[in-house]
Structure formats: structure tokens, C-alpha cells
Amino acid sequence: MRTENEHTIFLKDYAPTPYRVVSVDMDFKITEAVTRVRTQMTIEPRAETAPGTPLVLDGDGLTLDSIAIDGLPLMLSAYAANEAGLTLVEPPFRRFVLETEVNLKPEENKKLMGLYRSSGTWCTQCEPEGFRRITYYLDRPDILAPFKVRITAPREVAPVLLSNGNLIEAGDAGDGMHFALWEDPFPKPAYLFALVAGALGSITDTFTTMSGRKVDLAIYCTHGKEPECAYAMDSLKRSMAWDEKRFGREYDLDVFNIVAVADFNFGAMENKGLNIFNDKLVFALPETASDANYANIERVIAHEYFHNWTGNRITCRDWFQLCLKEGLTVYRDQEFSSDERSRPVQRIHDVENLRITQFPEDGGPLAHPPRPDRYREINNFYTTTVYQKGSEVVRMLATLLGEAGFRKGMDLYFERHDGEATTIEAFLKVFEDASGLDLSQFARWYLQAGTPTVTANDSYDAASQTYTLTLSQTTAPTPNQPDKPPFVIPIKFGLIGPNGSPMGWTGVSGGTVKDDIIVLDGDTITLTFTGVANRPVPSLFRGFSAPVRLASSLSQQDLLFLARHDSDPFNRWDALQTVTTNLMAGSAAGKAPSNGDIDALRQAILDTLGDTSLDHAFKAQVIAMPDEAVIARQIGANVDPFTVAQSRKALIGAIVGPAADRLSAIYEDLSINEPYSPDAAQAGRRSLRNGLLSLLTAGSERGAALAEAQYYAATNMTDRYAALAISARNWTPAALALLGDFRTRFGGDPLVFDKWLVASSQAPDEGVIERMRAILAAPDFPRTNPNRLRSLLGSFVMSNPAQFARADGLGFRFVTEAAAEIDHVNPQVAARVLTGFRILPLLEPKRREAARAALEALKNLQGLSRNTGDIVDRILAG
């Protein structure tokens, strides 16, 4: 039996290392069979270190081939080396140079951490703890050093040799070998190290920074894919300009390189001056990539670029502080996308994502604060909570401080901490110093897990023209955190009068209200507004000003009123989503919605569609039906996902039925004749059209045929894939044939194959698991590629709850059995797929037991990785 403490690392145990690294010189000699890595590091004891203190370096799977200090080989008694580390028993008590040599077999590295090969290219992934798979080192983010890296490799197989920083020398090395010498002058933690060697094509461009420096930009890829990198390059240049304009941040090296690789555990990685990308986030052509892919490429290119300041120049002291760089950088990329596209639509999109992925995490067995205080496996903490909730916390700071105050704090952050590895506390301190606010209670957002529920109740007294609003917060216990003292919750709000226009008041008492923001920082406040001429409808949490769940006493009528009149587009959208979610959740619990309710909802949707002041992308969000996961959360317990899916579909049918003619007419009107462009306006039009197709297919007889026709007529991937996915999700009569066609039409393209895998995993019919088993069992299925595995299994687990959580347990067993196999090859991917089991506590007892049994069987297997063991244990304990 594992116990929580075995391997658990606690934040409270943080201590600096007794030695620091002054500089690093690495020499890689790459050949087909092995890569020899020679590392020279200049090391010195810190002022407070006692003589004789051992030096302990991290290693993972390494074998030491030679070791010397200041050029002299070490005696065997002076050190101890094994797979997991290297200890110098009594290092010199002065500055010295430690030289080690190891030999690596990148070809055999299927974990994709450290140095590995992807389609023949040598590449690296070091965050968080991959550098120790390359050389013995103090592999932690608070050790910063300048690096010089020499790469020697066969010219034929690896004409391109890249590392961090600037190229300072390159040339012939004899015997068909050549070399390159790279120098990164900015001290950096080892997790930002990168090396690439291979036969790659590239596109190049330049960017002139605000101070007039010219930066050479390049994107490297497999030969032949160059034209597919254009949108990524365009996104990069726009990101560089935006960071100058919005945050005053200029790029600092002479070159910025991006490399696209086919095998990658994550989206992308911000290595200093050498970002490495999952190729799905670089390649885009209209025929093979959807509008959503384009938007994602733009977002992730920006995200990794923005890390240059938030992550690289200022990094994390330890991995508990991960959201210092991730939450802040997600906030920055969301702001970028808002400025480049539509702000309200971006906000809706980001909040939907938060509700579908982060709320379930925060309300389940894997809940943890944005800054956790313990972990067994850090790789399991690259979560939606650290990233997306981390971003929401930064956004709340910006809301509380105002735009100018927030910028002042950010400027101070860059000024005060440039070149440091720092903490959340230091981050909050700059905003305190810039604004004079006390943020000690606000800090709880970083320290406490769980989604608060805010309850709002109001009353109006016509005689005294007084409006009373009572707001209270509660947060359920989460693992290791039974009690939750109150959060500081900024509630951006407005009061709306009977004719739909904003209402003022003459006085307010009972709590803090600054302009349009109420700050709820206790358990409950009761605000009294005086001089309110009529009963208002409150619009609360405008722009989703805090990551909470709102339980309000508003009637369906009030919500529909907001949907029509709120000046805040986010709340207009949210009001309608709330009405729909409530009706679907109610119907799944056996409470059939009344005809009046349905008619009113349908009318609200039609009115939105007819409103010429709204753009297409916004309308598309409004007509999108709530995700099954959101409905399940609303039900809260004893969920039967099959009934949820049925109720959802039934309600869509009831809404669409009498409006089908009208909806099809709008659908027809929206077709596009101009050539494809991924721009926001065209993409918005397509998303509305495909949103209508989705409604019509789920809710009417005619949809299936429309989808089939659209599939064959499509001239771009957005429309073709939408038609395919909608057909598969609704399991239309043509679905199987369309899947077959799609498979052959794009046979060889791996990223399009992923789309086929996703669509295949979404089918709601009983046969879906059998078909997936067959896909996985095919001898040519690329079982070591994370994109393929996640497309099939990840999307099944996360987005097909009715089949994943089947009452007979078949879905659960299919996933645990597949995960057991993947775990031997790539534990990170296996662990991530298994996080889908976090819905367990929400399920009705029979399904819960079936899920538990599948996890127990997995847990009992021999040789499970720490990644998988950690996830399974936490879910079973929750």
C-alpha cells in the first residue's frame, strides 16, 4: 500500500541548495547509436554552506562514464553515482569545475522527456525534470546559470543544429560531422534548456523591436511542411508587437527559433530562444486545419512567446510556484486573443472552458489550489487549475486594481524580479506596493482549492425605494482542506431597470462598492441601495469577474430579461445558458420543463439570432447548448450520464422543432462564397452556421441530411469536420459512412487522422468501445505518439460521458486497460487520460462502483508508474 507521505514533497520543506552553479558548458556528440554528453559546470559553495557539505546532483536513468574536478579524475571514494543521482562526498570548498560524461540512447526514449528522437530529429523536453535525464545536475528552477552548448553531429542526418541563445560559431568537424556552438547569456534554469538536431526545413522572417533591434525569426519543420507554418509565423510577429505595446516587453536575443515536432507530450515549450512545439500547434492549411486550430495556434504561439518574460526572465523558485508563470502567461495570452479577436467571444470561450474542465477538477478528488503545497509527481500538476484558474486569479487582481494599477504592478514586477526565481508572495507584493492595497486575504485564491458558491438574494421596497442585495459565499471541503475561510470576491455588477436600461442609486451601505464592483470578502454581506426608483434586475459577475458558481434567486423570466437587455455581453450569454442548463438538469432529474418555459427559451434564441447588432461569433456562442459536464455539475450528485444526454437531446428537440424552418433558412443564408480565410469575421460566420447545423441535427429530422450534404460539399476543414463531428455525435444514419470517407480521404495526414480519432470517440452508440478497441489493436496504430492516444482516449474520457460511464463498466475498463499498456511507454500520457475518472464521486452508485473496480484493478498491477499511481490513489481516496 502506498501512503501519502511516501515520495511526497512539501512546499514547507523548501531550502536553497548548499552549492550554486556559476556557468555550464555542454558538449553533445551525436551519432546514430548514442549521444555522448560532456558537461562542465563551474560550481561554488554558498556563503552559508559549511565545509564538507556533500553536493547532491539529480539524475534519472543515467550511467556515469567519467568524472573529474578541475581536470583531475576523481577517486572512487570521492563520489557515489547511480541512475538517480550523483553525490560528491566532500567537494572542494571553493569555486571548482565539475566535469561529467554520460552516454544517452535517445532512440529508446519513449517517455519523451530528456533527449529523444521524433521522426528522426533529435530534440529535448526538460520541463519540469527532464534535464536530469540528460546530465547529472541541480535540476531545479532556482538554479540559474548561463549555458554554452556545442553540438557535433553527422551533417547528412542533422544539417540543422540548434540550442538556446545566439549562434556564435559553426563549422566542419571532419569525418562527415559538423558542429555548432550556441551561447545563452541569460542565466536560466535547466528546465529551459533545449537542443534540436535534424534534417529540417524552415521559413524565416524578421522582427524589429521597439528599440530598433532586428531579430531573426525561424520556424523549423519536416521538409515539405514549410507552407503550413505561415500562420504560426504571422502569429509570432503579432505576439511580439503586442507584448511591447501592452506590457512594454521587448525581446532580448538576436534570434527566436521555433521547431515543430510530431511527438510531444504537451502543447509546446518555452525554452529560451528555442521554443519546441507539438506540430499540431504549428501546421495549418485551410484543407486540413479548422478555424479552431488556427485560433489555437495563434494562442499557443503567443503563450510560449510571452513566457520569455513571464517564466524565463522571471522564473519560479520551485515547482509549487508553477502558476506564477503559467497563470500569468495564460492571462496574457487570453488578453492577446481578446485584442486580436472579439473580447466578449474570447471571454465566453475561456469561461466555458473553465467550467467544463476546471470546475470539475476543483470539485472532485483531484482538487488542489493554484499553488499546491504538496505533490508526489509534479508532472500531474500541469493542470487546468494551475493554468486556467491561475489566470482567473490574475484577472481578478486586474479587476480590483483597474487597468492602470495592474500595469503599474506588472512594471514593478519586471523591474524588481528580472533575473530571479521567485514566488507567488513576491508577485502579490508588487501589486500591494503599486496600489497600497492589502492582498493578504486575496492570497487565499492561490492557497485554497475549490469553487466558491455565491448565493444572491434580493428584495425591493417600493415605498422607501430601497433595494436590498444579500450576497454570501461558501466553499465545499477539498482534499486536505476541510475548512475554507472566505475569499475576496470582486463582483462586477449593474442594476437594470424595467425598460432594460441601467439604473442608478443615490446611496449604498453595508459593504464595499467601488464604481461597478462589489467586493465580497466576508461570509455574507447585505447591501442596501437607496434611491432606486423601480425594482431592478441585478446583473452580477459581469464578464465573469470571479471564478465562482452563482446561485441566484432570479426567475427564468428575469434571466430571459437579462439575456435580452444586459449591456454586458458575457452576462447576456450566461443568462441564457443558465436557463437552458436548469431546464436540462431539471428534466434529467424527472422534472419535465413546461411548454411555456420551452417557448420562452426558443423565442429568446430566435430573437438573438435576429438581432443585427450582434456578431456571428457571439450568436454562435448563444445558441450553443450546454455541455453534458456542465449539466451534470448542476445536478450535483447521483448522476446518470446517459439520462443527462437523453434529456439534453430531448430539450434541444423541443426547442428546435417548431423553429426548424427558420433555423434552416438562417443556416442557408450563412453560406460563404469567398475563398477561405481564418480571420475572426469569417470564422464567426462559419461557427454560427455550424452551430445551427448542430442544433438542427440534434433536434430535428432534417439535420442529418444537411450535415451529410455539407460534409461532401465542404471546401475547407472547418465545415467538413463540423459536419463529420455533428454526424458522429448524433449518430446519424450516414455517420459511419462519413467516418469511412474521411479516413480514406486524408489517409496519410497524422493531424487529420487525429480529427478522425476524436470524431470516432464521440459516437454515442453502444458499439463505440468495440470500434475503438479495433482502432487501438490495429498493428499500424502509432501507439507511442501522444497526439494519437489523446485524440482517441482523452476525448472519449472527457467528452463522451454516456459511453465512458456506462452502467456495465465496459467504458471504464476499456480506459484502464489501455492506460495500463500506455503506462509502460509514456506514463505522463497514461496519467492524464486517467484524470477523466475524476467524475467518479458525481456518479450514481452503480456506475461509481464500476469505476472504482476498474481503478482498483489497475492499482493492483505491478510496476505502475508514479504518475499513474498518484492519479489513481487520489481519485480512489477522494
Q: Active-site positions?
A: 304
Contact predicate 811/803, CB 8 Å:
yes
Quick one: CA torsion of 624, 707, 640, 628, rounded to 10 degrees?
-20
Question: Nearer to ligand 0A1 by C-beta: 264 or 742?
Answer: 264
Contact predicate 160/197, CB 8 Å:
yes
Question: Nearer to ligand 0A1 by C-beta: 127 or 628?
Answer: 127
Place of cell 459536419: 723
Burial (CB count <10 Å: 0-12, 13-18, 19+), residue 600: middle
125 binds, among ligand 0A1, Zn ion, none (CB under 5 to 8 A by kind): ligand 0A1
Q: Terminus-to-terminus CA distance in the chain, angstroms?
A: 16
**Phi and psi at residue 650, to the nearest 5°:** -65, -40
Residue 128 preceded by cis peptide, ω within 30: yes
Stretch that binds Zn ion, among 42-50, 272-280, 322-330, 766-774 (CB under 5 A): 322-330
Find the binding residues for Zn ion in span 538-557 (CB under 5 A): none
Question: Nearer to ligand 0A1 by C-beta: 127 or 566?
Answer: 127
Distances, alpha carbon 408 to alpha carbons 152, 402, 435, in Å: 46, 10, 8
Contact predicate 684/620, CB 8 Å:
yes
127 binds, among ligand 0A1, Zn ion, none (CB under 5 to 8 A by kind): ligand 0A1
Give the start-end residues of each E strand in 51-137: 55-58, 64-69, 72-73, 79-82, 85-88, 96-104, 114-118, 121-125
Distances, alpha carbon 289 to alpha carbons 229, 333, 858, in Å: 12, 21, 37
In the complex, what is the shortest distance from the CB of residue 112 to ligand 0A1, in angstroms, rounded to a whole number? 7
Strands 494-496 and 502-503: antiparallel
Question: Nearer to Zn ion by C-beta: 393 or 802?
Answer: 393
CB atoms within 10 A of CB 842: 22
120 binds, among Zn ion, ligand 0A1, none (CB under 5 to 8 A by kind): none
Q: How far apart are CA 208 and CA 214, in angstroms?
A: 4
333 binds, among Zn ion, ligand 0A1, none (CB under 5 to 8 A by kind): none
In the complex, what is the shortest distance from the CB of residue 828 to Zn ion, in angstroms, rounded to a whole number? 16
Stretch that binds Zn ion, among 126-134, 169-177, 324-332, 738-746 (CB under 5 A): 324-332
147 binds, among Zn ion, ligand 0A1, none (CB under 5 to 8 A by kind): none
In the complex, what is the shortest distance from the CB of residue 481 to ligand 0A1, in angstroms, rounded to a whole number? 25
Question: Nearer to ligand 0A1 by C-beta: 27 or 304?
Answer: 304
Question: Nearer to ligand 0A1 by C-beta: 263 or 362?
Answer: 263
Question: Nearer to ligand 0A1 by C-beta: 278 or 621?
Answer: 278
Stretch that binds Zn ion, among 326-334, 397-405, 564-572, 760-768 (CB under 5 A): 326-334
Find the binding residues for Zn ion in span 810-839 (CB under 5 A): none
Residues in contact with ligand 0A1 by CB under 6 A are 125, 127, 265-270, 303-304, 326, 382, 828
Place of cell 522564473: 315
Question: Nearer to ligand 0A1 by C-beta: 88 or 302?
Answer: 302
Residue 412: DSSP 8-state: H
268 binds, among ligand 0A1, Zn ion, none (CB under 5 to 8 A by kind): ligand 0A1
Q: Name residue 729's amino acid.
A: R
In the complex, what is the shortest distance from the CB of residue 821 to ligand 0A1, in angstroms, rounded to a whole number? 20
In the complex, what is the shortest distance from the CB of residue 383 to ligand 0A1, in angstroms, rounded to a whole number? 11
# residues near Zn ion by CB under 5 A: 2
Burial (CB count <10 Å: 0-12, 13-18, 19+), residue 474: middle
Question: Nearer to Zn ion by C-beta: 329 or 800?
Answer: 329
265 binds, among ligand 0A1, Zn ion, none (CB under 5 to 8 A by kind): ligand 0A1
In the complex, what is the shortest distance from the CB of residue 387 to Zn ion, in angstroms, rounded to a whole number? 7
Cα 733–Cα 735–Cα 739 angle in degrees, nearest 5: 150
C-alpha cell at 713: 460539399
Residue whose Cβ sits closest to ligand 0A1: 266
In the complex, what is the shortest distance from the CB of residue 685 to ligand 0A1, in angstroms, rounded to a whole number? 31
Cβ neighbors of 238 (< 8 A, separation 6 or more) are 298, 302, 340
In the complex, what is the shortest distance from the CB of residue 376 to Zn ion, in angstroms, rounded to a whole number? 22
Question: Nearer to ligand 0A1 by C-beta: 179 or 382?
Answer: 382
382 binds, among ligand 0A1, Zn ion, none (CB under 5 to 8 A by kind): ligand 0A1
269 binds, among ligand 0A1, Zn ion, none (CB under 5 to 8 A by kind): ligand 0A1
Q: Name residue 265's amino acid.
A: N
Give the start-end residues of each E strand in 279-386: 315-316, 374-375
627 binds, among Zn ion, ligand 0A1, none (CB under 5 to 8 A by kind): none
Return the bridge partners of 24, or none: 41, 147
Find the binding residues for Zn ion in span 368-427 (CB under 5 A): none
Residue 249: DSSP 8-state: -
For the chain, count helices (H), then strands (E): 29, 35
Contact predicate 113/265, CB 8 Å:
yes
Find the binding residues for Zn ion in span 329-348 (CB under 5 A): 329
Nearest Cα neighbor of 375 from 875, 874, 877, 876 is 874
Question: How is 622-669 classified by DSSP, letter by letter?
Answer: HHSPPPHHHHHHHH-SSB-HHHHHHHHHHHHHHHHGGGHHHHHHHHHH
In the complex, what is the shortest distance from the CB of residue 382 to Zn ion, in angstroms, rounded to a whole number? 9
Query: What is the 3-state composition of the chain as percent helix, strand, coil, each rounded to the nearest 5?
Result: 45, 20, 30
In the complex, what is the shortest distance from the CB of residue 260 to Zn ion, in angstroms, rounded to a whole number? 17
User: Is 499 in a helix, a strand, or coil?
Assistant: coil
In the complex, what is the shortest distance from the CB of residue 76 to ligand 0A1, in angstroms, rounded to a whole number? 35
Question: Nearer to ligand 0A1 by C-beta: 27 or 263?
Answer: 263
616 binds, among ligand 0A1, Zn ion, none (CB under 5 to 8 A by kind): none
Q: How far apart are CA 405 and CA 97, in angstroms?
A: 46
Interface with Zn ion (CB under 5 A): 326, 329
